[in-house]
Amino acid sequence: MDSVRVFIVDDHSLFREGLKRILADEGGGRFQVVGEAAKGGEAVQKVKEIKPDLVLVDVALPDLDGFQVCSLIKEFLPETKVVMLTMYGKKEFHEQARDAGASAYVMKDEDISSLLETLSRVAQGEELLARGGRRRRRGGYLSPREKEVLKLIAMGYTGKEI
């Protein structure tokens, strides 16, 4: 499998550098950072040129906010996956990320393994939103297997039978 081409958008250079090192050192060769930007407008232009597989976007940016950046990227490159990065756990931000077309919403205080797992899953096409370590798929809170188990329980099957 080819490495996932990642573009990072965050107005803090130290945070961008940290993400690049995490992806290089801890990513097991799965990720290749192909570009970065500190502002939303700059990010949209560069992403249109570079066409990465996945874009990590901070919610709070100096010019356009991360939701606007996500919407514009999805408008120009609908196949590009966008993962929102934030320190804000507000429900309305979570919903705005989903509405803008983000595949995931990751809190900046999550551990590295959780971030890498989220990025891998999104790169494989999963639509999920992460909030405080808890994941939510667009279709609801349950995975297909969890829904299947609930149906079997509703039909009267026991745990052993399932």
What fold characterizes domain 4-154? Rossmann fold (3.40.50)
- Please write the tens of the pLDDT for every residue from 26-78: 988 999 999 999 999 999 999 999 999 999 999 999 888 999 999 999 999 99
- Please write the tens of the pLDDT for every residue from 114-154: 999 999 999 999 887 643 334 444 444 456 776 676 566 65
Contacts of 46 (CB under 8 A, 6+ apart): 7, 35, 37
The answer on pLDDT for 99 being more than 50 is: yes
Burial class (CB in 10 A: 0-12, 13-18, 19+), 91: exposed
**What is the distance between the alpha carbons of residues 122 and 55, in angstroms, rounded to a whole number?**
11
6 contacts 31 by C-beta, under 8 angstroms = yes
Partnered with residue 106 across adjacent β-strands are 85
Lowest mean pLDDT among 87-96, 102-111, 152-161: 152-161
- Please write the tens of the pLDDT for every residue from 67-84: 999 999 999 999 999 999
Q: Which two tokens stand for residue 133?
A: 């370590």
More confident of the two residues 48 and 155: 48
